[in-house]
Amino acid sequence: MFYMKAQALGVADHGVVMSLFGDYKIDGNLLVAKETGARIPLTAEFAREFWRVASFVWLVNAVRASRIVKGREPRARISFFPKKPRSYYAIWPVCHLADVKIVDDPRDADLHFYFEDREFLMGPRQAPSGKPAFNIGCFDIRKSVVARVFEEVFGYSLTIDPLAHQGTAVEKSELNGKHDGRIISCPVSETRRGQVYQRLVDNTFDGAEHVDIRTPIVGGKIPFVYLKRRPADARFSNDNTRVDLVEASTMLSPEEQGKIIAFARAMSLDFGGLDVLRDRSDGRIYIVDANKTDMGPPSAMTGQDKLKAMRGIADAFAALVDDALAASPA
């Protein structure tokens, strides 16, 4: 829910401005996204979310301003295509913290970044030039594709056949950001179009609190993981009661980290986030979602923890940029 709320804030690079008339319209007491149809209640909680996002953006802008005053030259210049990210996407603060300047004209850029908040294209978009480009091959992140690549890399399956499976399962949308998962009993008499059917993962440590291991991916590295905690009645939502920032090795073995990185490579995901669940019954991890236009950091974190997280990702992104430039022909 926070992600949809954050999208409505429309925080610009030069300040905090609500772009309601560009991407959103007001319908009674709802804010409606023109492109996706997402409906966000205009409540006191929405106002609190606005100030949380705004304060974090101002914090990043303060860091950026101090570097400008010191006369620091950018590490590199990057252009985004076909769209430029707004400041509620993780890549925006990451670029600023990594001293990577976002430019509008691709001819002024040293690097390109494929950025489009949609799940599926028939094929990859063409980069503006032959310069290094990130996420260029990541053009299909539908749930069924994520599950197929996961099985190819890990050797065991998340997908079930709802017509034959005996017991409980999860039915959810193919598309990202819907948070519409629901538990069903199988077998079912018929499947619903646009839905996927997957194993019900018991991602609890104590049988009560559900924990998602949100795993950032930056150039084949996992800087850390977020532990996103929710009660049982909100297990499929994005409303977290608590978010902890922990070392990847605390939650994932070296072998598991290696397979997660191999999965990201198979998805052509240079920069993004994965939702990883550990099943209490078999101890294995399952990748249930991949996001190439990752938002963050999660709302439940403090401003200082958000900045710490973005600094960690920025350090990894700076290394990715340096490596890409070093490998690029002069």
Express each pLDDT in 215-227 by its tens digit.
Answer: 999 999 999 999 9
Task: Check whether 3 has a pLDDT greater than 60.
Answer: no
Dist. CA 240–CA 199, nearest whole Å: 22
Q: Output 145 or 39, whichever has higher pLDDT.
A: 145
How far apart (Å, rounded) are the C-alpha atoms in residues 172 and 35? 21
Question: What is the predicted pLDDT for the residue at 67?
Answer: 60
Comparing 57 with 256, which gets the higher pLDDT? 256
Please tell me whether residue 95 adopts helix, strand or coil conformation. helix
Q: pLDDT at position 13, please?
A: 39
Q: Among residues of the chain, what percentage have pLDDT more than 70?
A: 78
- Please report, for the chain, the start and end positions of each structural domain, with discontinuous segments joined by +: 2-137, 159-200
Is 12's pLDDT higher than 70?
no
Q: Which residues contact 118 (CB under 8 A, 6 or more apart)?
A: none
How much is the pLDDT for 76? 96
Task: Say yes or no to pLDDT of 248 above 80.
Answer: yes
| Of 58 and 114, the one with more pLDDT | 114
The CA distance from 269 to 169, in Å, is 28
- The predicted pLDDT at position 233 comes to 85
Choose among 324, 147, 103: nearest CA to 219.
324
CA–CA distance, 313 with 224 (Å, rounded to integer): 8
* Helix/strand/coil percent split, the chain, to 5: 30, 25, 40
Residue 271 has pLDDT above 60, yes or no: yes
Q: What is the mean predicted confidence (pLDDT) over 279-302?
A: 90
The DSSP 8-state label assigned to residue 15 in this structure reads: B
Average pLDDT over residues 92-100: 92
Instruction: Report the 10 Å Cβ neighbour count for 120.
Output: 11
Question: Residue 65: its pLDDT value, please?
Answer: 60
- Residue 191, helix vs strand vs coil: coil
Most confident region among 75-89, 151-165, 302-316 by mean pLDDT: 151-165
Spatial distance between the Cα atoms of 274 and 33, rounded to a whole number of angstroms: 24
Structure tokens that stand for 250 in this block: 């605390």
Query: Which of 19-23, 95-99, 160-164, 317-321 shows the lowest mean pLDDT across its residues?
Result: 19-23
Q: Which of 201 and 118 is assigned the larger pLDDT?
A: 201
**Could you tell me how many residues make up the chain?**
330
The backbone torsions φ and ψ at residue 120, rounded to the nearest 5 degrees and listed phi first, read -145, 135
| pLDDT for 50 beyond 50 | yes
In the prediction, which pLDDT does 251 show?
97
Q: What is the pLDDT of residue 7?
A: 40
Give yes or no for residue 2 having a pLDDT over 70: no
Q: What local confidence, expressed as pLDDT, does residue 36 receive? A: 47
Place of tokens 């950018």: 74
